[in-house]
Amino acid sequence: MRTKLSIIVPTYREAENIPELARRIDSAVKEKYNYEIIVIDDNSRDGIENRIDELKETIPVKLKIRFDEKGLSSAVISGFDMVTGEIIVVMDADLSHPPESIISIVEKITEEGYGFVIGSRFIKGGSSDHFDIYRRTKALVSKIIARPFTKVKDPMSGFFAFPVKLLDEKVRLNPLGFKICLELLVKLSPSRVTEVPIQFQERLYGESKLTFKQQVLYLMHIWRLFRFKYRTLGEFAVFSMIGTTGMIIDLLAIHITYSILSEMLSRGFIQTPEIMLNLLSTDPSGLMFRTALVAGFILAVTSNFLLNRYFNFMRTPLNIIRQYVRFFTVSIAGFAIKWFISVHLFETNPFFHRYYLLAAFLGIMGGLVVNFTGSKLLVFKASRKD
C-alpha cells in the first residue's frame, strides 16, 4: 500500500502562490506517494476559496478558514485534526520551500525510519538565497538561543515532516508565534531527528509576516520551552530574581521604618517601652533598628510570596492565608540556615575571618536553596502544568 502524506500549508494572504505550489507538489510527489494538501487560512479574504475550488478538480486539496484565531503555529496545529495520511509534512505557501525536496525529506522516514526530518538551510548542501546580513544574524541568534533544546542546525525551519503517530503523545502544544518546529521537537521529543538540505528561495509574491512582534514572541516561546524542559531550574532562576527584589524591598523598608521611628521619637510622638530596652539590653536607637529589621523582613517575605505565587509557581488550591503562613515559616527556616552557616564558618575557620563576606555569601546561598526547596515542596506543591 502506498504511504499517504498530509501536507499542511498555513496561509495568510498567499492566494496567488497557492496554484503553483499545489501543481509543483503534485508533480513532485504523485509518482511515489498518495497525498493531500491541507491549507489553513486565517481569513485572508484574498480569493483563496476560489483558487482552491479550481484546484480541487485535479488536485486533492482541502481548505480550512479560521475566523476566530490567528497565527502560524496555531494554524499548523489546527491542521493536525484534518490529517488522514500517515506522514505529516509542514511547509510554507510562498514557494520558499521547494516542493521538489519533499521526497528526500519523507524518504528519511519511510525508507530509513527516522522520527522527525527537517528541511534545513544550514547543513552542507543547503542554502538560503538571501544573503542579507541582517536576516542571517537574526537566524544565527535564534539558533544560538535554541541551543539548550536541540542540536539541529535549523530548528527554525518551517519545512519538516514526521509520522502522524508522534502526535499520540498527549502533550499540550503551545501555539505561540512561528516556531512550531522547535515546539514539536521539545514537547514531543521524537527519537532519531535528522536534517535534509534544502534551497530556501525568497518569496516571489506578497510579503513576509515574520515581524518584530514575532521575534518578541519567539523569546517568550523560548522561555516557556525552557520552563517545560528544565522546569525546576527555571523556577529556581525566577525564585532567585524575586529574592533579589525582596532584598531591595527589605533595605528600603528598613531605611523608611528607621527614619520614621527616629523622627517620631525625637518629636516625642512615641516612647520606647522600658521593658523592651531592658530585655534586649539596648538603647532606643538599637530598639528602633531591630524593629526596622523585622518590618523589612515581613515586607520582603510578603512581596516574595506574592510574586512567587502569581509569577513563578502556578496558583495552587491551597488557601492563600495557609500558603502565606507556610511560606513565612519556610523563610524563617531559610533565614536560620543562612545565619547558622555564616556564623559557623566565621567562628570555626580563620580563613573566613579574613573573607567574612564569603562566609555571608555562602550563608545566603544555603538559605536560598532551603527557601527554594521548601517553597517548591511544601508551599507551592501542585505547581505548573504546561
- Residues forming contacts to ligand GDD in the complex (CB under 6 A) are 10-12, 14, 40-42, 70-72, 75, 92-94, 96, 139, 156, 158, 178, 203, 208-210
In terms of CB distance, is 71 or 243 closer to ligand GDD? 71
Q: Minimum distance from CB of 184 to ligand GDD (Å)?
A: 12
Q: Minimum distance from CB of 207 to Mn ion (Å)?
A: 9
* 40 touches, from ligand GDD, Mn ion, none (C-beta below 5 to 8 Å by class): ligand GDD
The C-alpha atoms of residue 376 and residue 370 are separated, in whole angstroms, by 10
C-alpha R_g of the chain: 30
Where does residue 7 fall: left (phi above 0), alpha (psi -120 to 50 degrees), or beta otherwise?
A: beta
In terms of CB distance, is 211 or 245 closer to ligand GDD? 211
E-assigned strand segments in the chain: 4-11, 34-41, 61-65, 87-90, 116-120, 127-128, 160-163, 193-197, 199-200
Q: Minimum distance from CB of 209 to ligand GDD (Å)?
A: 3
- Selected from 94, 154, 183, 235, the binder of Mn ion by CB under 5 A is 94
* 93 touches, from ligand GDD, Mn ion, none (C-beta below 5 to 8 Å by class): ligand GDD
Q: How many CB atoms lie within 10 A of CB 134?
A: 8
> Which of the ranges 165-173, 195-203, 328-336, 362-370 carries the binding residues for Mn ion, by CB under 5 A?
195-203
DSSP 197: E
* 70 touches, from ligand GDD, Mn ion, none (C-beta below 5 to 8 Å by class): ligand GDD
* 10 touches, from Mn ion, ligand GDD, none (C-beta below 5 to 8 Å by class): ligand GDD
Q: Minimum distance from CB of 254 to Mn ion (Å)?
A: 56
DSSP 57: T
Q: Minimum distance from CB of 46 to ligand GDD (Å)?
A: 10
In terms of CB distance, is 12 or 116 closer to Mn ion? 12
In terms of CB distance, is 14 or 183 closer to ligand GDD? 14
Q: Minimum distance from CB of 206 to Mn ion (Å)?
A: 8
**Nearest residue (beta carbon) to ligand GDD:** 158
In terms of CB distance, is 129 or 283 closer to ligand GDD? 129
Name the packing angle between helices 18-29 and 48-56 (round to 10°): 30
In terms of CB distance, is 180 or 295 closer to ligand GDD? 180
Q: Given the C-alpha cell 514572541, which residue does it identify?
A: 217
In terms of CB distance, is 203 or 231 closer to Mn ion? 203
Number of residues that bind Mn ion (CB under 5 A): 3
Classify 40 as helix, strand or coil.
Answer: strand
The C-alpha atoms of residue 15 and residue 37 are separated, in whole angstroms, by 14
In terms of CB distance, is 14 or 250 closer to Mn ion? 14
In terms of CB distance, is 175 or 367 closer to ligand GDD? 175
Q: Minimum distance from CB of 152 to ligand GDD (Å)?
A: 13
**Is 96 one of the binding residues for Mn ion (CB under 5 A)?**
yes
Write the burial class of residue 269 (CB in 10 Å: 0-12 exposed, 13-18 middle, 19+ buried): exposed
CA distances to 91, 107, 201, 281, 347 from 136, rounded to whole Å, are 20, 29, 14, 69, 57
The C-alpha atoms of residue 290 and residue 283 are separated, in whole angstroms, by 11
Classify 186 as helix, strand or coil.
Answer: helix
DSSP per residue, 325-354 = HHHHHHHHHHHHHHHHHHHHHHHH-HHHHH
Q: How many CB atoms lie within 10 A of CB 37?
A: 24
**Is 32 one of the binding residues for Mn ion (CB under 5 A)?**
no
* 86 touches, from Mn ion, ligand GDD, none (C-beta below 5 to 8 Å by class): none
Q: Are 192 and 152 in contact (CB under 8 A)?
A: no
Which residues of the chain form contacts with Mn ion (CB under 5 A)? 94, 96, 203
